[in-house]
Structure 1
């Protein structure tokens, strides 16, 4: 039944000049499906880790210790001011190679895979942007709220985690979602270091079949659908996080950022 529907869809689309006959081949169809699964896994992993790393960096940015703040700011500036692809290639082709050579002296195998490097570097790169958005949100918390928390006996750490960060998250949410949408699109860079995602699978297919247009249309549709889903989820969460009278944010800003 599924094969029959696929054959009809291929025949229907062929009238537009696009030949998706290669999808009838089980090997190439399965390669694309597996690539889509890997892409989604990269996206999910980087979205979660970038938020975790971003919160950690934001905490360092508001640290009372000047040297800690300088180190965190230096990392953020280095990360934001260099291309993601360059960072990814340097980590995988330089750092990973040095680790492999070092472990080889003890006859050990490097356990760090291209997937690890892609997820780690993409997460750290976007965490720098998350951190700045959260820092601005933390500093925007009204002093009266901090004074109220202090009067209730909250320590500085408790004020940060129980008052400032929750409010900063609400204030920074549109910026965080804009960064997340960009991260979802940037996940395709994982193919540059041979991570078997959808972009890499499509590249392997069009190299053999010379059907670049058909594969590119598939990639555009896939990333377009996923990006829109992330945007819609972000708008829904933003509505849930809104607090009457404090930090009300409009959906237009998030929507325009997601489609930028």
Structure 2
């Protein structure tokens, strides 16, 4: 049933000048579906990594302790001011190689290309999350902080129960925008042979010369993914907004 539907689709699109013939090949179709699955897995794993990293960096930046804020600031500036692809290549070709040598060979290295994509992209976006959260934390009214201190909250409790909840509401639009960028950045995995949808598409179009068709599909796929992220972010904004604020 599926094969007949796909065959009809391929025939119809061919009459319009498009080449989707790979859909009738079980091998190529499997590669492409696996690529889409890998892209979705990368996004699903990298999003929480970026959020946790951004929260920790924001806490360090606003801690008031130089031994925490200075390294965090250096990391944020270095990370957000250099290309993600360059960071990935440095991590995979330099850091990963040094780890392999230290462990006695690549066969003993537990870190896969998938790990490096998640780590690099996640921490790259975490730097942007951190700046958004830092701005939100610093925008919390001083009277609110004084009230928290008056009821006996310590610095950590103020950060966790007062500043972070309010900062998250203020920073949520920027964080959602960062997550949209994160989804797009997972395509850098193709540079180190992580089998996400871009890498799978390259393998197919190198044999079939159907670059235009697959690029159109990739654009539509990421448009759909990021539309879902944006809609989820808008729902969270409405869910978390302070009642009566702005009325």
Task: State if a TM-score over 0.5 links the two structures.
Answer: yes
Give the equivalent residue in structure 2 for 1:34: 34
Shift, 1:68, TM fit: 1.6
CA spacing shift, 1:192–1:108, aligned 2, 3 Å: closer
1:17 is paired with a residue whose SS is coil
SS at match of 2:108: coil
1:15 Cα offset (Å): 2.7
Shift of 1:108: 5.7
Residue in 2 that maps onto 1:188: 187
Runs of 4+ in 1 over 4 A off after TM superposition: none
- Equivalents in 2 of 1:243, 1:13: separation in Å? 50
Describe how 1:152-167 pairs up with structure 2 within 5 A. Answer: 152-167=151-166
The equivalent residue for 1:70 is 70
TM-score, normalisation: structure 1: 0.91
**Match runs of 1:104-253 below 5 Å:** 104=104, 109-246=108-245
More displaced 10-residue stretch of structure 1: 221-230 or 159-168: 221-230
Q: How many residues align?
A: 246
- Separation of aligned partners in 2, 1:20 and 1:108: 39
Tell me, which stretches of 5 or more residues in structure 2 are unaligned? Answer: none
Structure 1: runs of 5+ lacking an equivalent: 249-260
Tell me the alpha carbon deviations over residues 95-142 of structure 1, each in whole angstroms, 9 at most, x when there is no partner.
11111122126x961111000000000000010000000000001011
Q: How far apart are the structure 1 equivalents of 2:181 and 2:16?
A: 31
- Structure 2 CA distance for aligned equivalents of residues 16 and 153 of structure 1: 71
**Residue 87 of structure 1: aligned partner:** 87
What do you get for the CA RMSD once the two structures are aligned?
1.4
CA–CA separation in structure 2 for the residues paired with 1:55 and 1:211: 43
Cross-structure match for 2:15: 15
**177-186 or 213-222, which moves further after superposition?**
213-222
Is the partner of 1:112 in helix, strand or coil?
coil
Q: CA deviation at 1:195?
A: 0.4
User: TM-score, normalized by length of structure 2?
Assistant: 0.96
- In 1, the alpha carbon distance for the partners of 2:235 and 2:225 equals 15
How far does the alpha carbon of each residue in 1:149-170 deviate from its partner, in whole angstroms, 9 at most, with x for none?
1222111111110010011000
